[in-house]
Amino acid sequence: MSFDTLGLKAELLRAVVAQGYTTPTPIQSQAIPVVLDGHDVLAGAQTGTGKTAAFTLPLLQRLDDGTGHHKHPRALILTPTRELAAQVAESVETYGAHLKLRHTVVFGGVGFNPQADKIRRGVDIIVATPGRLLDHANQRTVDLSHVQILVLDEADRMLDMGFIHDIRKVLALLPGKRQNLLFSATYSDDIKKLADKLLRDPVLIEVARRNTTAETVAQAAYRVDRQRKRELLAKLINEGDWHQVLVFTRTKHGANRLAKQLESDGITTAAIHGNKSQSARTSALAGFKTGKIQALIATDIAARGLDIDRLPHVVNYELPNVPEDYVHRIGRTGRAGEEGVALSLVSGDEVSYLKSIERLLKRKLDVEIVPGFEPTGDDGPSEDDDRPPRGHNPRRGGGRSQAKPATRSAGEGHNRNRPGHQDKANSSQPAANQSRRRRPAPRSM
């Protein structure tokens, strides 16, 4: 099958060919005709298999009437993170290059007024995170009453990040008659409940068993004491001659600390997380994509939305305690048919997380021990723990403090009361890796 058999117009096919794509992926070949026919869709596929193009291409075609003079947005694409919003907006720009449709991207961490000015000038498509979009709605800088197509991208992640109340508020601003598209890498019972309320006679598209990882990703785990994880990671990067590796940590402070430590090992490194300004995050990601930065240390803010061409290695420096996050993390490699390696560094206190991940995947991961890094079973305190030492109470100068719920920082929290608030972004954990030669693969979406 080729793209010209899917019913796409010539302008879109030109844009697809210009990107070097020839053959649609399974999610694209199944979803594009259905979306073009106007059906609601609940679609799931492994991350990295082209979901964005699967809804962007038919959305552009359905909106294009050749005029380009619409004042109010007619399509809304909601995403959980700024990075994913930027990636989706880039796809809209790329595939809509030969159309007269206008779009903008809306998220926190950057100026409110420039976004408002562009919306007032008229856009056909808005790509947004829920919090900043509601800021615009509250300030009356956007009118969503003309939206014809709603897309929830990575809908499960939005629910995980607590966006369900914001999503309901956005839905209340939309017209009742519209096309709804839910795309996600994983399905959950909560997603099914949301779909039942939102979608009308949807077409269910599931191109792979739910919650699975791409077959192009080689996965393994290394057992190692927590105190020696950084040493092992530096060894893997240096001796494996890795030029590009995405490393996931549990916390923001842990990401900063690891970045400094790897820099001292002679590895060019940057950290990306919710406490970083949007300009710093954008700069770090750009440097990583161009090869100026060898190792990008990230919290789970980066698990969704990072589309890095031919990323060879992902390392879970710490395992996530939510097994679905493992799927999203390692989905940053092995994309578009390319091969990749995903390694996890597993300390003794993370074995239960590993078992949870294996239950989700319905498979065992290869667990190895690197000579010289044999685990002793004495993991000691976590160097990536953001909490104060046990018994420390800054108000009383000592004694045990009551455990309190974790709070989000300004960069990772959510403030609905002011236009410049930061959008939500969870922090999380990562692990380790190994190198192998990758065969060049035919390029598809």
Do 197 and 250 reside in the same domain of the chain?
A: no
Gap between the Cα atoms of 435 and 342, Å rounded:
9
pLDDT digits (tens, 9 = 90+) for 348-395: 999 999 999 999 888 899 999 999 999 987 665 554 444 433 343 333
Do 328 and 229 reside in the same domain of the chain?
A: yes
Instruction: Burial-class residue 246 by CB neighbours within 10 Å (0-12, 13-18, 19+).
Output: buried
364, part of any domain:
yes
Q: How far is residue 207 from each of residues 29, 135, 155, 375, measured CA to CA in Å?
A: 10, 36, 17, 40
Do 35 and 119 reside in the same domain of the chain?
A: yes
The reported pLDDT for the residue numbered 362 is 87
**Do 123 and 129 contact (CB within 8 A), yes or no?**
no
b/e sequence 326-354, b meaning 16+ C-beta within 10 Å: bbbbbbbbbbbbbbbbbbbbbbeebeebb
Do 232 and 194 reside in the same domain of the chain?
A: no
> Block means of pLDDT (10 residues each) for the chain, length 445 residues?
92 94 91 97 78 95 83 95 90 95 94 95 96 96 97 85 90 96 79 87 79 74 95 94 92 92 93 83 87 91 66 92 84 73 94 93 91 83 44 36 35 38 39 39 40
Do 256 and 184 reside in the same domain of the chain?
A: no
Gap between the Cα atoms of 42 and 210, Å rounded:
13
**Do 429 and 329 contact (CB within 8 A), yes or no?**
no
316, part of any domain:
yes
Place of tokens 């720009």: 93
If one counts the domains in the chain, the total is 2
Instruction: Burial-class residue 405 by CB neighbours within 10 Å (0-12, 13-18, 19+).
Output: exposed
The reported pLDDT for the residue numbered 195 is 87
DSSP-assigned letters across all residues of 4-54: GGTT--HHHHHHHHHTT--S--HHHHHHHHHHHTT--EEEE--TTS-HHHH
400, part of any domain:
no
Gap between the Cα atoms of 82 and 109, Å rounded:
9
391, part of any domain:
no
238, part of any domain:
yes
121, part of any domain:
yes
Do 48 and 126 reside in the same domain of the chain?
A: yes
Do 71 and 199 reside in the same domain of the chain?
A: yes
Which residue among 368, 400, 421 closes a domain? 368
Do 157 and 222 reside in the same domain of the chain?
A: no
The reported pLDDT for the residue numbered 443 is 39
Do 61 and 150 reside in the same domain of the chain?
A: yes
The reported pLDDT for the residue numbered 213 is 62
Residue type at 46 in one-letter notation:
Q
Domain that holds residue 113: 3-206
168: enclosing H helix or E strand: helix 164-172
CATH at 143: 3.40.50.300
171: three-class secondary structure by DSSP: helix
Looking at the DSSP assignment, which residues form a beta bridge with residue 104?
126
Helix axes 51-63, 26-36, angle to 10 degrees: 20
b/e sequence 20-54, b meaning 16+ C-beta within 10 Å: ebeebbbbbbbbbbbbbeebbbbbbbbbbbbbbbb
102, part of any domain:
yes
The reported pLDDT for the residue numbered 36 is 97
The reported pLDDT for the residue numbered 304 is 59
The reported pLDDT for the residue numbered 426 is 38
- From the list 242, 241, 243, 301, the residue with the least C-alpha distance to 271 is 301
Do 199 and 221 reside in the same domain of the chain?
A: no
b/e sequence 366-398, b meaning 16+ C-beta within 10 Å: eeeebeebebeeebeebebeeeeeeeeeeeeee
Which residue among 206, 225, 251 closes a domain? 206
Task: Give the 3-state DSSP-derived string for 216-258, with helices as H, strands as E and coil as C.
Answer: CEEEEEEECCHHHHHHHHHHHHHHCCCCCEEEECCCHHHHHHH
Do 277 and 148 reside in the same domain of the chain?
A: no
Gap between the Cα atoms of 192 and 257, Å rounded:
39
Do 177 and 322 reside in the same domain of the chain?
A: no
Which residue among 334, 368, 402 closes a domain? 368
The reported pLDDT for the residue numbered 85 is 92
Instruction: Burial-class residue 110 by CB neighbours within 10 Å (0-12, 13-18, 19+).
Output: middle
The reported pLDDT for the residue numbered 400 is 33
- From the list 233, 236, 271, the residue with the least C-alpha distance to 250 is 271
Gap between the Cα atoms of 133 and 139, Å rounded:
10
396, part of any domain:
no
- Output helix, strand, coil percentages for the chain, rounded to the nearest 5: 35, 15, 50
